[in-house]
Amino acid sequence: MDIQIEKLTKTYGPQTAVNDISFDVKTGEVLGFLGPNGAGKSTTMKMITGYIGFEKGDIQIGGKSVTDPTYDLKRHIGYLPENNPLYHDMPVIDYLEFCASLQGIEKQNINKRIREMVGVCGLNSEKHKKIGELSKGYRQRVGLAQAMIHDPEILVLDEPTTGLDPNQIIEIRKLIRDLGKEKTVILSTHILPEVEATCDRILIINRGKIVANGTSETLRKQSQGNEKLKLRIEDGKADKILKSLRTLDTVQSVACIEQNQNVFEVQSLVEQTSKRNVFNLCVQNKWVLTELTPLETKLEDIFRNLTVK
Amino acid sequence: MKTIWIIAKRELEIFFDSLIAYIILGLFLGFSGFFTWLYGNDIFLVGQANLRVFFSIASWSLFFFIPAITMKMLAEERKTGTLELLLTKSVSDRQLILGKFLGSVLLVCIALLATLPYVITVSSIGNLDNGGTICGYFGLLLMSITYTAIGIFASSITTNQIVAFMTALFIGLFFHIIFGVLAQNFTGSIGQIFETLNLQSHFESISRGVIDSKDLVYFLSITVLGLYLGESSLSKRHSS
């Protein structure tokens, strides 16, 4: 099921939480939702799940508007809310059974689905405990299990990996990627490597507006600009190397990062590369080039550039 | 309908799984039993085999007992965030309100069933007026659904259980006493209006064995109004 969001706006009193955003998510796609705290991620997710309404715009899921009262959309959506609220006084199995029956799963299939979910989310050793007795990581697994119990076509996960240990994070990421092959998944997170590891596409949102939308490669290209190289050159004097580097015709600027280690950062002119020139320069002067690393723009930098203004 | 029952069933299971349930039930039965059998204007003073005394005392103990049951119904869900979890499943606002209402009413019914030994005891002493007893229980039931609806509404407007409890008592107090007192202090049409609003007079006429459609309309309309207001306060989240 595809999700189309058109010119969505939501205000809380004088504060605009989400301001005129449009995007779409296709079946078989995992969309990563990034943004600083209070950017409007959770609000957008709540509107997609139908928990809160909106003033302007429209959300269409599978070609039908979520505002259509005759459309029982919620059966197609699995939702893991922020902070993962759960009934702490219920045992895991009972809770999953409660969720399954609310989602309209037929009685004879409920136990089968629960067994599957307990297996997928690694809850087998804890399934008879009360949810309140579980650790944070296990509660998160219960939250994921309840979101997926009715095998929904759309999964909306608000920070799905918080509180999990590194092994579990890898498992859950793999699970999300597998699910994303046939389902539509939207997930929000603060952990940037997670987005790169799990998502097909990234959406960065700041102050209720979309500031970036694309795969991690396109985002990188957009913000990268000029080539940057980190060099370490031995057997020469720092100030002399610095001077000769500046004379190269592809170089825009050079900075000496560590004087006594002879480490430099070279920025090339637009759409030019200085790698060969640097190498030849070293050969001419009999310097030894011990390090040449192209510096990539990290997702962290892109994120900071777009959201800190 | 199935969804409503699933929600109500969970309430019952959770209630009897907790210690609080037995404390509340114990207090209800203890309070009703003490004043019916042991203290003051008790059942032996009347010298007749009927349960009038019990019904008037139960109307007071239910007045406190019901808000104690309903206070957590929505306030706690809202506070812990599970409300969001429920309403993003295939559950409408109305189904949730009705489910919580049904669950609470069933709990009150269980408490009332636990007073059946009183009936058995009195009927073994003398010739019990069966019709009157049934009408008395019917009156208590109608009063219970009314206060439950008020309690559900009170629970829907706050995240604090104590606030929900006090609000339910405060609203209930008007129907239980204040309208009655005002009815006595005013004459003419104003007095008439207050007398119509007074829950006690409707309750007494039913427990005396007169089931009038006027009384049924009274109880049911407050119930529907309470549930409707509860639903609207849940739906408020949609607008800013």
pLDDT tens for A252-298 read 888 887 777 788 888 888 777 888 888 888 888 888 888 888 877 77
The single-letter code of the amino acid at A186 is: I
Query: What is the model's pLDDT at position B236?
Result: 87
Asked whether the predicted pLDDT for residue A224 surpasses 70, the reply is: no
- Closest alpha carbon within chain B to A69: B92
The single-letter code of the amino acid at A232 is: R
Query: What is the model's pLDDT at position A176?
Result: 85
Confidence band, pLDDT 50/70/90 cuts, at residue A217: confident
Mutual orientation of helices B199-207 and B130-156 as an angle, nearest 10°? 150
* Chain B contact set for A13 (CB, 8 A): 240
Mention every residue, 6+ apart, whose C-beta is less than 8 A from residue B60: none
Structure tokens at A161: 């990996």
CA–CA separation, B46 and B30 (whole Å)? 21
Confidence band, pLDDT 50/70/90 cuts, at residue A309: low
Query: What is the model's pLDDT at position B103?
Result: 94
Q: Tell me which of A102, A133, A150, A151 to substitute to probe the interface with B (most B C-beta atoms closer than 10 Å).
A: A102
Query: What is the model's pLDDT at position B166?
Result: 95
CA–CA separation, A218 and A203 (whole Å)? 12
Query: What is the model's pLDDT at position B5?
Result: 94
Query: What is the model's pLDDT at position B227?
Result: 95
Give tens-digit pLDDT for A89-100: 899 999 999 999
Query: What is the model's pLDDT at position B8?
Result: 94
Q: Which CATH class is domain A225-296?
A: alpha beta
- Helix (H) / strand (E) element for B93: namely helix B93-113
Query: What is the model's pLDDT at position B164?
Result: 95
Percentage above 70 pLDDT, chain A: 98
Query: What is the model's pLDDT at position A34?
Result: 87
Whether the CB of A85 is below 8 Å from some CB of chain B: the reply is yes
CA dihedral of residues A51, A52, A58, A59 (deg, nearest 10): -20
Coil, helix or strand for B132?
Answer: helix
Q: Which residues of B touch chain A, with CB atoms under 8 Å apart?
A: 3, 6-7, 10, 13-14, 17-18, 80-82, 84-91, 237-240
The ranges assigned to domains in chain A are: 3-214, 225-296
- Closest alpha carbon within chain B to A56: B239
Give tens-digit pLDDT for B139-184: 999 999 999 999 999 999 999 999 999 999 999 999 998 998 888 8
The answer to ipTM > 0.85 is yes
CB nearest B89 (choices: A53, A55, A74): A74
CA dihedral of residues A73, A139, A134, A194 (deg, nearest 10): 170
Confidence band, pLDDT 50/70/90 cuts, at residue A171: confident
CA–CA separation, B140 and B153 (whole Å)? 20
Query: What is the model's pLDDT at position B7?
Result: 94
The answer for B73, left when phi > 0, alpha when psi is -120 to 50, beta otherwise, is alpha
Q: Tell me which of B13, B88, B95 to substitute to probe the interface with A (most A C-beta atoms closer than 10 Å).
A: B88
* Chain A contact set for B238 (CB, 8 A): 52-53
Strands in A251-258's sheet, in edge-to-edge order, are A251-258, A263-268, A228-234, A288-294
Query: What is the model's pLDDT at position A70?
Result: 75
The ranges assigned to domains in chain B are: 2-235
Q: Are A189 and A31 in contact (CB under 8 A)?
A: no
- With CB atoms and an 8 Å threshold, state whether B240 touches A90: no
Report pTM.
0.85
Average pLDDT of A144-172?
Answer: 87
Query: What is the model's pLDDT at position B75?
Result: 93
* Chain A contact set for B17 (CB, 8 A): 89
Q: Are A96 and A112 in contact (CB under 8 A)?
A: no
Query: What is the model's pLDDT at position B167?
Result: 95
CA–CA separation, B138 and B215 (whole Å)? 12
Mention every residue, 6+ apart, whose C-beta is less than 8 A from residue B133: B50, B51, B119
What stretches in chain B show pLDDT beneath 50? Answer: none
Average pLDDT of A205-213?
Answer: 87
Closest by CA to A72, choosing from A104, A47, A99, A101, is: A104
Confidence band, pLDDT 50/70/90 cuts, at residue A225: low
Average pLDDT of A235-239?
Answer: 81
Query: What is the model's pLDDT at position A254?
Result: 84
The single-letter code of the amino acid at B76 is: E
Give tens-digit pLDDT for A73-85: 888 899 999 888 9
CATH of A3-214, picked from 3.40.50.850, 3.40.50.300, 3.40.50.10860, 2.30.110.10, is 3.40.50.300
CA–CA separation, A169 and A21 (whole Å)? 30
Query: What is the model's pLDDT at position B240?
Result: 60
Average pLDDT of A113-119?
Answer: 90
Mention every residue, 6+ apart, whose C-beta is less than 8 A from residue A175: A120
Average pLDDT of A46-67?
Answer: 87
